[in-house]
A and B are shown apart, each in its own frame.
Chain A
Amino acid sequence: MADRPSPRLPERDRPWLMRTYAGHSDARRSNELYRRNLEKGQTGLSIAFDLPTQTGYDPDHELARGEVGKVGVSIAHRGDMRTLLDQIPLGEMNTSMTINATAAWLLALYIVTAEEQGVDQKQLQGTTQNDILKEYLSRGTYAFPPGPSMRLIADTIAYTVTHIPRWNPINICSYHLQEAGATPVQEIAFTMSNAIAVLDAVRQRVPQELMGSVFGRISFFVNAGVRFIEEHAKLRAMAILWDELGRERYAVQEDKQRRFRYGVQVNSLGLTEAQPENNVYRIALEALAVTLGRSVRARAVQLPAWNEALGLPRPWDQQWSLRLQQILAYETDLLEYPDIFEGSKVMEGLVAELLAGAREEMQRVAELGGAVEAVDYMKAALVESHRERWRRIEAGEQVVVGMNRFTSTEPSPLTAGADGGVLRVDPQVEAEQREALARWRAERDQAAVERALGELARVARAEHENIMPATIAAARAGATTGEWAQTLREVFGEYRAPTGVAEAAALSSQQVDELREEVERLSEALGRRLKFLVGKPGLDGHSNGAEQIAVRARDAGMDVVYEGIRLTPAQIANSAAQEGVHVVGLSILSGSHRELIPAVLEALRQTGVGEVPVVVGGIIPESDAEALREAGVAAVYTPKDWDLNRMMHDIVALVAERHGIAAPA
């Protein structure tokens, strides 16, 4: 009898790249954090930038208020980048940068920093996220209109393919689509449609013989939810579609160039504030979705921390997540086998089902003229899916342990500490960054900066020139993030993405019947329909929550003024006054609530509508919630208040009380 072939690989696989999405405050503090993380066995860097850096504003811009150093590190110029990467050898590092609208600029700063370290750009390895369509659909850190944005993406791809051959110039993201509520089919279809839009744009700007290398450098950034079997099937379906696209649409000959390569951050949407320790299990199961099957195993993994629904994770929380990756890679036998799903009928069936659904949905997007033209359609579809998901959770059809089922709990020792179990950014950081920026501006060669920005503006207007060389020159000259972006805003114009809320289907009436009654009665007593302003102050673009609130308020019978993201306190106050609203709802997830909410309250007072009650929702630690209530906020909602009908009921009662109307029975 012949020897049975070993089910094992001849040699254990090398583990994936292990990263932690990290960065906060300023470059110096983040650099310390990175070096500590690398010591702990992290094998790559994943840089989180703050919102002003991501949207192209300097720390001293009005819109940057309260946001500097909050969700990531503030990088305003090459001096900041140099400090951020101090003593980290860029020739050997593999760095992922979550940067989109300003990706070309941050890449330029990275190249210039490498130059200063004596490292040639040819040696650099890493990824710029650089995916603008999903910013319009979900994440909100866009700066320019679709046309110029696609050009910036195409330019960075064309540049890196020839000058930084090991760089992944774009990470097409399905991650944020899932966070916005996408079903697996939508996630696959919208992501692939997005990839087509990018590749079609690049095709206009590089010679055909380079398309193979371009295709080979496109990578993906995916999500994995807790339904980990289906999630794994989703990745297999994406790999099949990608290979097909390469062969059929772009004539990519080499197999290697058509391989589906992706990094992953597992799901944050499903992480709960209630019994937050349970999130550790969720994260572990989600990590299996992207590592179990060898043929579509992630190239790079970053895991969220257990406390993301509470606030910003501390270094220890991130370490805990890193250890999970290390246990999976080094303690388990995961890396010893070939693809364990090869030949599985169940897996094949699941993949076939997802493929069929995705093809149909891709066809629909294609019929609308492609992903850029279909942004409105996709956005509305996501809002609708998210609404359905939320309805299922509220109705108990979808179980979330500790949240809508098995809710009785002992007090958690994890959140008992003085910090409430989350990281707090030193509020001094913003002032420090503003001062440091003023010093930088005073010390640089101003004439050189102006020349470089003038050249940048010229190239931006010259549609067929690549934006990268002028961008790198501006980085060298000492221009700032805000100056680079402002120069381009002046040429390209600005943009507001669709909100997607107007198209969301109305909830079936029995779910909101009682609420509608309350709203009708209150509106009658008020003399006109209850009017509710929903707004997002600051630069935070995570609008999924605010959109769901707006849609539910409408379903409950309110007139809802929804203004979308990126509003200044003055804008919100102005709208509240002009629209004559009865109540204002603010949503903030970026941790800037301590600065921005009081600023909105003050602006309302100054506009003469200080008596309009304000409710706040977001990721807000309890101690902050208390301070906000003291400052005059009527109610604070956090992820544990997931019952939207109850929230609406509260709002009705609040307005009734303020107007001296007897509360509805």
Chain B
Amino acid sequence: MSLGTADGLELAGRLRAGDLSAAPAVLNLLESRAPAAGEQAAALLSGVSPAALGGEAPGHVVGVTGPPGVGKSSLLSALLREWRARQRTVAVLAVDPTSRRSGGALLGDRARIDAAPGDRGVFIRSTAAGGRLGGLAPATRAAAAALAAAFDVVVIETVGVGQSETEVADVADTVAVVVQPGSGDVLQFLKAGIMEIPDVLVVTKADLGRIATRAQADLTAALRSLGADRTPVLAVSALPPGAGIGELVEALDAHRAALDLPARRLHARRRHALADFAAEHGERGLRALGGRRAAERWLAEQDPALDVPALVSGLEQRAGVR
């Protein structure tokens, strides 16, 4: 924690150099709503933009989402061990489901994720969801983009099923939806189209044996009937000794390898910019742009190398709110 406002350019430089110890200060800055912080945050993001990096940030942004109680934290603990064993550095942005009834929030996720405290290759930060189940905290998108410049893997963990993956999908390169055996609602959501088709489906508690195998078979069949036969369905057990975790890491890697990363990231940046603009200026701002559709069309015409703050200020100029 720094008592003054951090220097965004300096932080970007540290991230570009792979200095993982910059992560806490990066988050402090991106979470800050102080006027002075806004400029520094913009400097930071432009310093890790594709233009500055000469390409997309190398880190793999993975969304891990699912209903409460399916064992996401145990799964993350096991994934962390596996990624670390493969010498990859990992940042986890845990978006806590706790509501902000009082403005405050109890962030308990960290306690459930098991990581070696002395390991400098792992960074875990918890934030409050900000009201909506499965919603992202405002700084999370920016943080994911920035940390992907330095960490090999950036995980965004959210809670929920149904609408929530959409929001994660706007940020993550790969979205893994986690379910437990016997949770028929996911099957229903998929069939009814309430839930978008994830990049990877994970069935936890494979130690339950037949129930897990059956859930895996049901989900695979459901995906096939929806024409999504490329989405892998993996059964894993996060309890020691663990099973299927290595396969899951490989499935995530395979999805990323097959992905048109620049296109997905570009899409994410444009969605992100529009979300930030809407959060700041509301419906009135969107009307001034001629509506959401018109704004999306305008964004689609912009230079792909522009970072989010640049896109936002473009929108603001167009709307005449700046």
Binding site for B on A (CB under 8 A): 493, 496, 499, 501-502, 506-507, 509, 512, 516, 519-520, 526-529, 550-551, 553-564, 568, 570-571, 574-575, 577-582, 608-609, 611-612, 658-660
Contact = CB atoms under 8 A, between A and B. Distances in A.
A524 to B, nearest CB: 8
A557 B103 contact: yes
B32 interface: yes
In this complex, which of A499, A502, A512, A658 has the most chain B Cβ atoms within 10 angstroms of its Cβ?
A502
A502 B31 contact: no
Given A502-B106, A578-B24, A579-B126, A563 B111 contact: yes
B220 interface: no
B72 to A, nearest CB: 14
Contacts of B118: 570, 574
Interface of B: 1, 3, 5, 21, 23-25, 27-28, 31-34, 37, 98, 101-108, 110-112, 114, 117-118, 123-128, 239-240
Nearest to A376: B69
A579 B117 contact: no
Given A501-B108, A516-B103, 19 more contacts: A493-B239, A501-B106, A507-B102, A519-B103, A520-B103, A550-B106, A554-B98, A559-B105, A559-B128, A560-B104, A560-B105, A562-B107, A577-B24, A578-B123, A579-B24, A580-B24, A580-B25, A580-B27, A580-B31
A496 B115 CA distance: 13
Contacts of B114: 496
Contacts of A557: 102-104
28 contacts: A507-B102, A527-B31, A527-B34, A527-B37, A528-B33, A528-B34, A551-B106, A554-B104, A554-B105, A555-B102, A556-B104, A558-B104, A559-B107, A560-B104, A560-B106, A561-B110, A563-B111, A564-B111, A574-B117, A577-B1, A578-B23, A578-B24, A578-B123, A579-B24, A580-B28, A580-B125, A581-B1, A582-B1
B102 A528 contact: no
Contact of A506 (B102, B107, B123): B102
A578 B111 contact: no
A609 B124 contact: no
Nearest to B34: A527
B1 A570 contact: no
Given A527-B32, A562-B107, A611 B1 contact: yes
Contacts of A575: 110, 117
Contacts of A560: 104-107
A202 B126 CA distance: 41
A561 B1 contact: no
Given A578-B24, A659-B3, A556 B102 contact: yes
Contacts of B31: 527-528, 580
Nearest to B31: A528
Contacts of A512: 102
B89 to A, nearest CB: 13
Contact of B102 (A516, A579, A658): A516
Given A527-B37, A581-B1, A611-B3, A502 B108 contact: yes
